[in-house]
Amino acid sequence: MSVPHEEYGRRLAGYREMEARQVRREAVVGNGRVIVFVSGGVLLYLVFGAWLLNALWLAVPLVAFIVLVLFHETVRRGQRQAQRGIAYYQRALARLDGQWAGTGQSGDRFRDDAHPYAADLDLFGKGSLFELLSTARLRTGEDTLAAWLMAPAPAEEVRARQAAVAELAPRLDLREGLALRAAGVPPGVDLDGLIHWGTALPLSVPPWMRIAATVLPILAILTTLAWLFADAPATPLLIVIVVEILFYFWAGRRIKGVLDPVERRVHDLSLFASILARVEHEPFTSPRLVALEKSLYTDGMPPSHQISALVRLIDLLNSQKNQLFAPIAFLLLWPAHMAFAIEKWRAVSGAAIARWLSAVGDFEALCALAAYAYENPSDLFPEMLDEGPCFDGTALGHPLLPRGECVRNDLSLSAPLQLLMVSGSNMSGKSTFLRTVGINAVLAQAGAPVRAERLRLSSLAIGATLRIQDSLQAGKSRFYAEITRLRQIVDLAQGPRPLLFLLDELLAGTNSHDRRHGADALLRGLLQRGAVGLTTTHDLSLTGIADQLAPRAANFHFEDRLEGGTMTFDYRIRAGVVQHSNAIALMRAVGLEV
């Protein structure tokens, strides 16, 4: 059993014991309530029925009841915490056991059929790389992780992320604490509304409004005291109340415009402050994490303190809903003063909300990669090269396949070799190998460990044609969709970084003559632009292209064996051109007479 599995199991057992303990305590509370109820009934009889006890004795069950209510709330909080911990570690163990597909966030909202490789490499959707990686609770964290997967980072940035991920990987308490603090809300919570509120135009407050908000409460206090304690007539107080009603009438729209947006977000603010507080108290050493932590501070003050101050203002505002305080709040023009205070907070700290959210998004994305690194200790960080193009890997495996079922292969694409022409029979592993290369390139350039024993690569753009589909709605055939993607890939090859291309069944939708001519021209053009990559084909005539382009290209293949009427595959890549096909055997295997 692996160390992550043992540690997760130990922590899961701890939370289950915690839940059982809270259940036992809840039973005690229930029994206590019964005892208090019965005792209260007995005391009521002894006080008012038999007249044997003083009425003060009734305070005993009342106090006991209040204590039980408070204790029960503590027990309920403990139960919720235990249940969140159980759910957190159950999903973590599911990832380790290969039972995670469909249990997390699929990232469907990031799907983009026009992206040069996202759909081809299964980045989003059920059972996708995003679902495997994402532990983010905030929308900004999901957005950041998705952006890292869809846009390879420069080598220097990758190295900075690798150092941060390596530092975060062993910090289970930190990741657990962040997850459990945010576990009370659904994943993908959108806090962007806070940014819009923080950067909105300031409230236009005319001078008379501030003067009136200061003078009228003073007059209200003085006239109230005079009426209550100095036998003064109530007329001055009534006049002040009428003037305050007029004030609310004229200024109410402006006050409401300040208070409504922030009142709706008080829960989001509390959650945000809780997450920031956990991050602020964590010591970091890697430059990326140190820079993230520094970016949170404004004038030397941590953001959790600033947001907590805003939450306190909102709590003070909500105190006017108390029936006892409501009349006093009315006389003091309480909403106006809270609006002024909240606007002052927004003027000082509102613009920083966007920076805080961005930092938290980066931190959640790094924590997601750190969890993957911790749970896959045999995976390693690739070596990022400043010069390229290069993709040189040993024992490459696909991270979405169960580790025990994953067949690993080597691949070296560096000068002078730029192209592997991969032939082979159906189901022999050609497409899976292309996906293995691509998804490891994505992981590497996001800053994560890769499923390999060794990987060296330069910064690479990625383009793939593994999941090209026709479209009835758009009136596009599969061939047209493929050549449209190929046009996109050619454009990528002319970009600032070398291209890694992964072309599956190149130009399979046209006749053999056009396929041969088109593939030759396309591949020559990609190689001339410095691209590296692989293309698969069933058409063995295309393998001649590799021979003509040698030593910049070479033929490799996957093969199968027919043993006892059963087709078997070893999914190993071999040098050379495949020597036979299994299409006829497969057709006969499903009952076709051929």
Instruction: Convert the pLDDT of each residue in 285-322 to its tens digit.
Output: 999 999 988 888 877 778 888 888 888 888 888 888 87
User: 112: part of which helix (H) or strand (E)?
Assistant: none
What are 457's strand-pairing partners? 384, 391
Instruction: Give the closest residue to 374 by CA, choosing from 95, 138, 180.
Output: 95
What percentage of residues in the chain have a pLDDT greater than 70? 91
92 burial class (0-12, 13-18, 19+ CB within 10 angstroms)?
Answer: buried
| Res. 88: pLDDT tops 50 | yes
The rounded distance, in Å, linking the Cα atoms of 546 and 536 is 12
Q: Name the band, by pLDDT with cuts 50, 70 and 90, for residue 561.
A: confident
Cβ burial of 242 (10 Å; 0-12, 13-18, 19+) is: exposed
Give pLDDT tens digits for 168-205: 999 999 999 888 877 665 565 566 777 777 777 776 77
Q: Does domain 383-589 have CATH number 3.40.50.2000?
A: no
Whether residue 585 is predicted with pLDDT greater than 60 in this model: the reply is yes
pLDDT tens per residue across span 436-474: 999 999 999 999 999 999 999 999 999 999 887 655 445
Q: pLDDT-based confidence at 515, cuts 50/70/90?
A: confident
Give me the pLDDT at residue 370, please.
96
Helix, strand, or coil (residue 507) = coil
The per-residue pLDDT for range 120-177, each reduced to its tens digit, is 999 999 999 999 999 988 888 899 999 999 999 999 999 999 999 999 999 999 999 8
pLDDT at 300: 74
Tokens 């032939």 correspond to what residue?
Answer: 423
> Quick one: which H or E segment has residue 114?
none
- At which residue do the structure tokens 């915690």 appear? 18
Give burial (CB, 10 Å; 0-12/13-18/19+) of 388: buried
The distance from CA 287 to its chain's CA centroid, rounded to whole angstroms, is 22
Phi, psi at 298, each rounded to 5°? -125, 115
Region of poorest pLDDT, from 174-188, 383-397, 500-514? 174-188
Residue 564 confidence (pLDDT): 63
Give just the sign of the alpha carbon dihedral 3, 7, 8, 13. Answer: positive
Q: Where are the chain's structural domains?
A: 1-97, 196-358, 383-589
What's the pLDDT band for 1 if we cut at 50, 70, 90?
very low
Query: Which string of DSSP letters, residue by residue, matches 366-397?
Result: HHHHHHHHHH-TT-BPPEEESS-SEEEEEEE-
Question: Taking residues 365-377, what's their average pLDDT?
Answer: 95
Model confidence pLDDT, tens digit, residues 217-263: 899 899 988 888 888 888 988 998 899 899 888 888 778 877 777 77
DSSP one-letter code for 332? T
Q: How confident is the model at residue 76 (pLDDT cuts 50, 70, 90)?
A: confident
3-state secondary structure of 18: helix
How confident is the prediction for the chain on average, in pLDDT?
86
Query: What's the pLDDT at 581?
Result: 66
pLDDT recorded at residue 59:
78
Cis amide bond preceding 551, omega within 30: yes
For residue 19, is pLDDT > 80?
yes
Phi first, then psi: give them for residue 157, nearest 5 degrees. Answer: -65, -40
